[in-house]
Amino acid sequence: MSIKLTVYFEEPFWVGVWERESEVDYSVCRTVFGPEPRNHQIMELAQSLHRLQFSEPIALEGRLRPDRINPKRMQRAISRDLSRPGVSTKAQAALQKQHEAGKQERKELSKAAREETDQRKYALKQAKKRKKHRGH
């Protein structure tokens, strides 16, 4: 399993994207830092990865990972990653999927709360109506 952190400036905050990749799946987590993060802040987050909310794992198909990677090839991959601004498309898709799931969950919770308040208001209205007609 490998975990990669990409920190970039997204107006007006600094954002970190944690990418967790294993042989079979891939997940991502987005952290908003606010001001530019210091090294000790990043290290604290790295030590408490279990508290971060990663997206649902995305299955990686047909992925073969060699045990040993050629050092020159690894250096090329690192320089390619450093020259690329922002985060990968795969990470953006996973973040979008996580955002949509959270939006759906919030929608369901707000609907349930709204229905509960409507039922409570209706019950109060009925009780008031019964109390009004009780003396006649």
Q: What is the DSSP string of 122-135?
A: HHHHHHHHHHHHTT
CA distance 15 to 29: 11
pLDDT in tens, 56-86: 777 776 555 556 788 898 888 888 877 776 6
- Residues 5-47: pLDDT tens digits? 888 887 888 888 888 887 778 888 888 887 888 888 888 888 8
Q: Which residues have CB under 8 Å from 36's CB, separation 6+?
A: 9, 14
Question: Are the C-beta atoms of 18 and 10 separated by less than 8 Å?
Answer: no
Domain ranges of the chain: 2-107
DSSP, res 55: P
Q: pLDDT grade, residue 117 (50/70/90)? A: very high
Strands (E), 11-71: 13-21, 25-34, 58-59
Quote the CA–CA distance of 4 and 78 in Å, as a whole number.
11
**DSSP-based three-state secondary structure for 136:** coil
Strands (E), the chain: 2-10, 13-21, 25-34, 58-59
pTM: 0.48
How many whole angstroms separate alpha carbon 92 and alpha carbon 58?
12
